[in-house]
Amino acid sequence: MADNDNVMTTQALYQMKLLDSVMRESQRMNVTIPVRFVRRVKADITLSDGTRLPAGSTIQVPSSEPKLDASYYSEPHRFNPYRFYDIRAGKVQDPLNFKNKEQYQFISVNKENTSFGYGRHACPGRFFAANEIKLILARILLDYDIKMPEGQHGRFPNLFNGTSVNPDPTRQVMFKYVANA
């Protein structure tokens, strides 16, 4: 904020690289939809390896497994807020060998991260969504102290409903306004 005269400009949001890394790591660890590209087969298809896809069947691509693959990420089941920050800064080796380290931004889509879709069908609103999330999180971090309720250690477990994974909306987190304190 100080580098941008305490104004949350587009440039300030881009410079929030650690926050961006935390967002992408959270997205990696807490997949909201474990499958993507769900399609219904219209006619019988036989693939080149002999696999038969009968008409009427549903096919889909898993989206959570690549994000937890140890060949891509060291300690894939451990939340590391600096994971993508360090890759973008060149502090650790790029596990996917991208030509451009900026492909590790929250909004970037690739074969490993299909949270916003992929290719020409990638969500065009992801840029707006990322800025909106950063604005909200920055305000929370600047204006509030946050803690879990007494006796709660770690995050609450997710709720699973069909192909959706969501945080439990009945759980509480404690906020205390401190901006003017």
The domain limits of the chain are 2-177
C-alpha distance from residue 139 to each of 11, 44, 131 (Å)? 16, 53, 12
Upper half-sphere CA count for residue 88 (Cβ side, 13 Å): 21
Q: Each residue's pLDDT tens digit in the chain (181 positions)?
A: 788 888 889 899 999 999 999 999 999 998 888 888 889 999 999 999 999 999 999 999 888 888 899 988 999 999 999 999 999 999 999 999 999 999 999 999 988 888 898 989 899 999 999 999 999 999 999 999 999 999 999 889 999 888 788 999 999 999 999 987 6
Residue 110's identity, in one-letter code, is N
Of 31, 117, 104, whose CA–CA distance to 72 is shortest? 104
CATH superfamily of 2-177: Cytochrome P450 (1.10.630.10)
The pTM assigned to this predicted structure is 0.86
